[in-house]
Amino acid sequence: MGIIKKARKSLYAIIPLVLLPMTTGSSNRPDISAGKPAQVIVDPEFLKTINVRLAEYKPSEIKPLYERPKELSQIARYVDLLYKKLPWNNFESILHRPYRKLGMQGIASETRFLAIIGVESAGDPLAMNSIARGWMGLTRPAWYEVETSDYNTEWYHPEKNSEVGMKIYRRMFRNIVRFHPESSALDKYTLNNLASAANNGGFTRLRERNFDIESMPEETRNYVTKIRLLEDRLNQRH
């Protein structure tokens, strides 16, 4: 996973249309074989909640978020832009139900998952790159490790994508607790940063590097930094 490049027609570009018709044919599944979905129906309830801030949203201002900033000062500006421009309260209203359903309170705060959504997709449910899709940037193999529903027909629904993303995250968190030699001495914040590193760079790689985030690839180190900074900013709202 990592920063997801926007689909050619992002959610924000198609919201004025309210709904896109499905492509004709016998199948209702979007075709993602060409690297982007066919026209898809976006949940109208999601459109209602996000439309509150649509007038304030300027895609041109979010573009720098996809340039993978490397320096801490750049990462801080990146996080500040995310924090100021995205409709977090609307996102939170969608995230809340799967968070409660899965009982994630004992693992991570809701703001950790809001931060993941911000970093992975800048809040665009149709975000994608060559391998990952949706709000939380989920790959097909990771999806089917924890979920039986159809990836093709579900990844672009924000609530479902969030639910599966939390299941994947929960699995990473539990692996950290199980296999880290000193997990009992680690606080929850540290465990969550390790889970985020595993989520991005792979649990096996993290374990092979003795659970040392600083020894992970630069992309993963930056990813964890962005998650941490954005989570801290989001926590300041309350």
Q: pLDDT class for 78, splitting at 50, 70, 90?
A: confident
- Angle (CA) 15-133-175 rounded to 5° is 135
| pLDDT surpassing 80 at residue 138 | yes
Residues sharing a CB contact under 8 Å with residue 101, sequence separation 6 or more, in sequence order:
163
pLDDT of residue 11: 39
Amino acid at 148: T
Domains with residue ranges and CATH for the chain: 11-235 (1.10.530.10)
Amino acid at 197: A
Measured torsion, CA atoms of residues 87, 122, 114, 32, in degrees rounded to the nearest 10? 120
Residue-by-residue DSSP string for 98-140: HHHHTTGGGT--HHHHHHHHHHHHTT-TT-B-SSEETTTTEEH
| pLDDT surpassing 70 at residue 142 | yes
- In the beta sheet, which residues pair with residue 133? 128, 138
pLDDT of residue 26: 31
- Residue 132, judged by CB atoms within 10 A of its CB (0-12, 13-18, 19+), counts as buried
Residues sharing a CB contact under 8 Å with residue 229, sequence separation 6 or more, in sequence order:
75, 76, 79
**Tokens 């465990």 identify what position?**
191
Residues sharing a CB contact under 8 Å with residue 140, sequence separation 6 or more, in sequence order:
131, 151
pLDDT in tens, 84-121: 888 898 899 899 999 999 999 999 999 999 999 999 99
pLDDT of residue 45: 57
- Residue 234, judged by CB atoms within 10 A of its CB (0-12, 13-18, 19+), counts as buried
